[in-house]
Amino acid sequence: MTEQTPAPEKKTSRPEAPIQLIVFRLGNEEYGIRIEQVKEVTITPEVARMPKTPPFVKGIANLRGDIIAIIDLEERFKLRPAGQKLPDHSFTLAIEARDYTIGIVVREVPQPLSILASAIEKAPEFIQDLNVHDKYIEGIARTEGRIIIVLDMLKLLTPEEIMQLKPKPASSGTAERKQA
Amino acid sequence: MKSREQEYREIFLAEALEAYDAMSQHISVLEKKPDDEAALHELFRLMHNLKANARAMGFAEVGELAHRMETIFGLIRSKERAFSGSLVPVMFDGVDTMGSMIRAVNENQPFPDVSTLLENLDRLVSGEELQVETAVVVPSDEDANRKLELSDLVYIQIKKLDHLLNLVGELIIDRDRVLTLSQEIGDPALANVAAHLSRLADDLQYSVMDARLVGVGTLFNKFPRVVRDVATAEQKEVELSISGQDIQIDRNILQIITDALLHLVRNAIGHGMETPAERRKAGKTPEGHLSLSAQTERDDVLIRISDDGRGIDVEAVRRKAVQRGQVSAEVASRLSEGEVYALLFEAGFSTADQVTEISGRGVGLDVVKLAIDSLGGQVRVESRLGEGTTFTLVLPTSIAVKGALLFELEEHSYALPLMHTDSVVSLWPEHLNIVGGMLLAEIQGENVPVVSLRELLSDTDDTLVPASKDTLVGRQDIIITNYNSRKLGLIVDRFLRQQDIVIKPVSQPLDMIDLFGGVTLLGSGQVCLVLDVPALTRLFLARRP
């Protein structure tokens, strides 16, 4: 189905290279992450709540010996009716952020999906209707009647993003320590 | 098992051989490009290190040769001589001779005669140009047929050892799980295998920990030079004595305390020691005595920095603390000696009125405290006015395994390092008093503030709600922690047990929360947070009603 266009100068910039996404559901919408950013998909391991972290940080878990933070994006973006909890059995996407791995809980098994790069629209004009702030969105993919919001995980998972929602634990001596 | 001395000898030989190889390479570069700064610098450095190592090992001849060659490379570096003329063959001869000497050490053979070479080098140092005839050295057959040698030692990046240690940590955790499971299942064959696995894992753990151990001497031996420089700058006379260099400690621990030790030594000379004139007046010897010593005590390593200087003036510290607004005058007057010393470790504290080049630049003992805290160690201070001060660093031998007290809070397990645990008590509410909204427990004649850990860890950072006894039902399990002479009682839901744990760092980005020194995995596979007592104490001080 790839249209044969005259070979461009650079191999990498071939316009119709397919993109692999891992697609999962948050609230009633479908979200996607580029497959390169996903390390693995697993059944959510036992999570230990960590005091002094924002509520959407579910805690830490042992993933094959790595202790990683587990976050809940539905709670982060308020996509789930208040009071409704995660099901007992959920799945965790281990995502490679810039310097660390982080787990994202999802309710259903994430599915791989192959789309064309051109199917991702960079300028999402209807972004105001979305619950997720546009700065975390790489684009909107339309394919076979589905609309998939492609997230830019690197922006979403910076330490500032994960920790900032809560005022710095100033009293815990962090500031003191930094100065010393 | 080989003696430490044998081990040092092997390390010396391996380093010397490597240095020799590097020298041969760099001097060839220099021959082609006499103005190659990098090669020259390397040669100078290699000679310098080899000299120091050889002298420390008692190979004076090697030291002498290296010393002369270092001098000449120094002269070339400062452009007083050039790498040309008769100097070149003599230096080549020097490097080759160095190689034969190192081989002689290896084979326990007598050293070759180097008197002519040393003489030539001396003449070069004094600026003479040698007759080319005397200088030219015909390569002997031995040089031409030189054997190639591979060292018995492998250099390994500490990173790789860190990785190995982490893996062993995982293995220990899995070992505990297998042991737990085999007990539950109760199959004798499985129990046998589990027991064997357990022994193997233990052996492996100790071997890896042993591979990371280095002598404290590797750090101590850098101090004679430091002391000399600091003493000169401060115009003081200091005699340094060092003992316990053979005490073994994890290399990374030594790395972390390097700055702390440097700081304490500078402080001791800068602030602790009096000038020779003052010392004479006080009836002391004009030269001050500073000692650096290491010893083991149970599983810990104690490092002591002791001086016979003026000692800590407890009253001056009190005044300074009041002046800085750290404590009120009234509180200051009631503080015990130990509590006053603790003030010294607060950020920015210094009693020295004048800032000298070496010490007292505003960075204080808090730097020392932070470094030792990060290792889960303790700092102790003893001082007598007019007689001197001793700082003792209590350090774990290895960073891998720590004793910890496990307890439960809101259905989660937590661990608290034993290093900071004073005692555990169970008290009925009637044995607790409320003073100024704060719970107090009397522990061994001392009033210790007590706080509910659940409250302390709550998500807000507001001042704690004043304590009330109504919320306390039944016996309270309280852990008394001790940090920097400050005791604090933590009410927990339930004590679990004492256990050796392997602490893993909290991964980013959650490592921003300093309340947790790390995490550990329990035999059940559960993740358990390890609380950091210094940070908890600070949090309590910030939130107390």
pLDDT at residue A8, as a whole number: 46
Above 70 in pLDDT, residue B224?
A: yes
Instruction: Give this prediction's pTM.
Output: 0.57
- Decide if domain B158-212 falls under CATH 3.40.630.40: no
Above 60 in pLDDT, residue B295?
A: yes
Taking contacts as CB-CB distances below 8 angstroms, the residues of chain A near B527 are 46-48, 59-62, 67
Which residues of chain B form CATH 2.40.50.180? 401-543
Mean pLDDT computed over every residue of chain B: 83
The answer as to whether A9 is a domain residue is: no
CA distance B288 to B384: 15
Q: Closest to B515 (Cβ–Cβ): which among A46, A52, A67?
A: A52
Above 60 in pLDDT, residue A1?
A: no
Q: In total, how many domains does chain A have?
A: 1
CA distance B155 to B42: 19
CA distance B172 to B166: 10
Taking contacts as CB-CB distances below 8 angstroms, the residues of chain B near A99 are 508
CB atoms within 10 A of CB A52: 22
Fold that domain B215-396 belongs to in CATH: Heat Shock Protein 90 (3.30.565)
The nearest alpha carbon in chain A to B457 belongs to: A51
User: A102's torsion region: left (phi>0), alpha (psi -120 to 50) or beta?
Assistant: beta
Q: Does A169 touch chain B (CB under 8 A)?
A: yes
* Buried-exposed string B330-348: b where 16+ CB fall within 10 A, e elsewhere: eebeebeeebbbbbbbbbe
pLDDT at residue A134, as a whole number: 65
pLDDT at residue B149, as a whole number: 66
Taking contacts as CB-CB distances below 8 angstroms, the residues of chain A near B503 are none
CB-based contacts of B271: which residues, under 8 Å, 6+ apart?
A: B309, B351, B352, B359, B360
Give contacts of A 61-90 with B, CB under 8 A: 61-62, 65-69
CA distance B534 to B516: 10
pLDDT tens profile B406-428: 999 988 899 998 888 889 999 99
Above 70 in pLDDT, residue B181?
A: yes
pLDDT tens profile B105-162: 888 888 888 888 888 888 888 877 766 555 455 555 555 566 666 767 777 888 888 8
pLDDT at residue B3, as a whole number: 63
Q: Does A57 touch chain B (CB under 8 A)?
A: yes
Please give the average per-residue pLDDT across A51-57, as a whole number.
86
The nearest alpha carbon in chain B to A51 belongs to: B457
Can you give the three-state secondary structure of B298-350, one letter per residue? CCEEEEEEEECCCCCCHHHHHHHHHHCCCCCHHHHHHCCHHHHHHHCCCCCCC
CA distance A31 to A149: 5
Which residues face A43 on adjacent strands? A91
**Residues B403, B500: contact at Cβ < 8 Å?**
yes
Tell if the CB–CB gap between A69 and B538 is shorter than 8 Å. Answer: no
The nearest alpha carbon in chain B to A50 belongs to: B529
Q: Closest to B510 (Cβ–Cβ): which among A69, A167, A170?
A: A69
Residue B286 preceded by cis peptide, ω within 30 = no
Above 90 in pLDDT, residue B259?
A: no
pLDDT at residue B302, as a whole number: 93
Which residues of chain B form CATH 3.30.565.10? 215-396
- Complex ipTM, two decimals? 0.72
Choose from A58, A164, A171, A178 for mutation: most chain B CBs within 10 A: A171
Q: Which CATH class is domain B4-144?
A: mainly alpha
pLDDT at residue B500, as a whole number: 78
Q: Could you name the CATH architecture of B401-543? A: Beta Barrel (2.40)
Tell if the CB–CB gap between B514 and A173 is shorter than 8 Å. Answer: yes
pLDDT tens profile A71-83: 998 888 888 776 7
Q: Of the spans A57-61, A87-91, B324-328, B467-471, which averages the highest pLDDT?
A: A57-61
Above 90 in pLDDT, residue B488?
A: yes
pLDDT tens profile A114-125: 988 888 877 555
Q: What is the DSSP letter of A65?
A: T
pLDDT tens profile B384-396: 988 999 999 988 8
Q: Does A43 touch chain B (CB under 8 A)?
A: no
- How would you list the strands of the sheet with A137-143, edge to edge? A111-116, A18-26, A29-34, A146-151, A137-143, A120-121
Tell if the CB–CB gap between B525 and A166 is shorter than 8 Å. Answer: no
pLDDT tens profile B527-543: 899 998 888 998 998 88
Please give the average per-residue pLDDT across B8-17, as a whole number.
82
Tell me the CATH number at A104. Answer: 2.40.50.180
CB-based contacts of B10: which residues, under 8 Å, 6+ apart?
A: B152, B153
Amino acid identity of residue B497, one-letter, is R
**Half-sphere exposure (Cβ direction) of B274: Cα atoms closer than 13 Å:** 20
For residue A161, the distance in angstroms to the closest alpha carbon of chain B comes to: 10
Q: Closest to A48 (Cβ–Cβ): which among B504, B507, B527?
A: B527
For A59, the domain range is 18-179
